[in-house]
C-alpha cells in the first residue's frame, strides 16, 4: 500500500493573509520612522547635523584666503572670488577627512589620494564626485534672512551683499551653515 504525501503548502487564503500582515507591518514601521523624524528635535547649534554660526560678514576671511576648518561641523568655509561655500570635509570616495594643502592650493585626501580644487571640484580620483556642500544663510541682526544658498549649493555671493548693487546688508549679519542638509557634489565625467 502506498501512502500519499501530505502537502505542507499554504492555501491561497493563508498566503494572502500573511501578505496583508506583512504590508501592515511595513506600513507601521514607515509611520514610526516619519513620526520619529518629525517629533525628535534637530541637533543643537554647534553640533554636526545642526546649524553653525561661522561669524559675521565683517569677520569673514577675504576672497582668496585659505579655507577655514570647522572640525565640529565637519566642513571647510571657502571664500572664493565667486562667493562663499561650505564644503563637507569627508572625501566622496570613502569618507576620509580631506585637508587643505597651501602649496598646491587644493584639498587632498590622505587615505587614497583624491584631490579637489579650491571650490571642491574633483581633480583626481579615486573619488568620482566633487566634495559635498552645505547650504549657507546670511541673517541680519534683526533675524531676517538676507541671502541663502540655492538648491545646487552654488557659491553665495557675499561681496554683492555688502558692496554690490543689491540692498546693503549690515556687516554684523551672521553667516550660518546648516550641516543637516548635505548637497551632493557633482559627478565627474
pLDDT at 7: 61
Q: Classify residue 121 as exposed, middle or buried by CB count within 10 Å of its CB (0-12, 13-18, 19+).
A: middle
> Domain residues of the chain, as ranges?
12-41, 51-178
Query: Residue 148 in contact with residue 135, Cβ under 8 Å?
Result: yes
Q: Classify residue 91 as exposed, middle or buried by CB count within 10 Å of its CB (0-12, 13-18, 19+).
A: buried
pTM recorded for the entire structure: 0.68
pLDDT at 135: 92
pLDDT at 108: 92
pLDDT at 144: 82
- Ranges of the chain with pLDDT below 70: 1-8, 38-49, 160-168, 189
pLDDT at 67: 92
pLDDT at 6: 59
Alpha carbon distance 125, 91 (integer Å): 10
CATH ID of 51-178, from 2.102.10.10, 3.40.190.290, 3.40.50.2000, 1.10.760.10: 2.102.10.10
Amino acid at each position: 500500500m502506498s501512502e500519499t504525501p501530505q502537502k505542507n503548502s499554504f492555501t491561497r487564503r493563508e498566503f494572502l493573509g500573511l501578505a496583508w500582515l506583512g504590508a501592515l507591518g511595513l506600513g507601521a514601521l514607515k509611520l514610526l520612522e516619519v513620526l520619529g523624524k518629525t517629533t525628535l528635535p534637530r541637533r543643537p547649534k554647534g553640533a554636526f547635523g545642526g546649524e553653525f554660526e561661522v561669524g559675521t560678514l565683517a569677520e569673514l576671511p577675504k576672497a582668496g584666503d585659505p579655507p577655514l576648518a570647522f572640525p565640529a561641523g565637519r566642513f571647510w568655509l571657502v571664500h572664493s572670488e565667486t562667493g562663499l561655500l561650505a564644503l563637507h570635509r569627508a572625501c566622496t570616495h570613502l569618507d576620509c577627512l580631506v585637508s587643505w594643502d597651501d602649496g598646491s592650493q587644493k584639498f587632498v585626501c590622505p587615505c587614497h589620494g583624491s584631490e579637489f580644487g579650491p571650490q571642491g571640484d574633483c581633480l583626481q580620483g579615486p573619488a568620482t564626485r566633487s566634495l559635498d556642500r552645505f547650504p549657507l544663510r546670511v541673517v541680519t541682526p534683526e533675524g531676517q534672512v538676507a541671502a541663502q544658498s540655492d538648491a545646487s549649493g552654488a557659491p553665495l555671493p557675499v561681496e554683492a551683499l555688502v558692496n554690490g548693487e543689491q540692498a546693503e546688508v549690515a556687516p554684523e549679519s551672521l553667516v550660518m551653515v546648516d550641516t543637516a542638509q548635505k548637497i551632493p557634489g557633482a559627478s565627474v565625467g
